[in-house]
Amino acid sequence: MQPIDPADPRRPFVQIAASIRAAVLNGELEPGQRLPSTAELAAFFGVAKLTVTSAIRTLREEGFVTTTPGSGVWVRNRAALPVEAGQEHQLAGVVNYLFEMGHLKRVSRAGWLLLGITRPETVAEHSFRVGIVGMALAAIEGADIGHTAALCLLHDAHETRIGDVPSVGRAYVTTAPPEAVSASQTSAMPTDVAKAFQALTAEYEAGETPESRLARDADKIETLLQAAEYGAQGLDTGPWRETSLAALRTAAGQELARAIGSADPNGWWSVFAASYAELRADAQRRARGQKGQAGPAEAE
What is the arithmetic mean of pLDDT over 110-116?
90
Complete domains list, the chain, with CATH? 12-75 (1.10.10.10), 92-267 (1.10.3210.10)
How does residue 300 score in pLDDT terms, banded at 50, 70 and 90? very low
Least confident range from 92-96, 162-166, 268-272, 294-298: namely: 294-298
Least confident range from 196-200, 228-232, 272-276, 284-288: namely: 272-276
CA quadruple 82, 88, 94, 100: dihedral positive or negative?
negative
What is the arithmetic mean of pLDDT over 242-264?
95
How does residue 166 score in pLDDT terms, banded at 50, 70 and 90? confident
Closest CA to 20 of 9, 10, 8, 30: 30
Cα 157 to Cα 179: distance, rounded to the nearest angstrom: 10
Q: Which residue has the higher pLDDT, 202 or 275?
A: 202
Cα 252 to Cα 75: distance, rounded to the nearest angstrom: 39
Cα 67 to Cα 90: distance, rounded to the nearest angstrom: 28
Least confident range from 34-48, 76-90, 184-198, 230-244: namely: 76-90
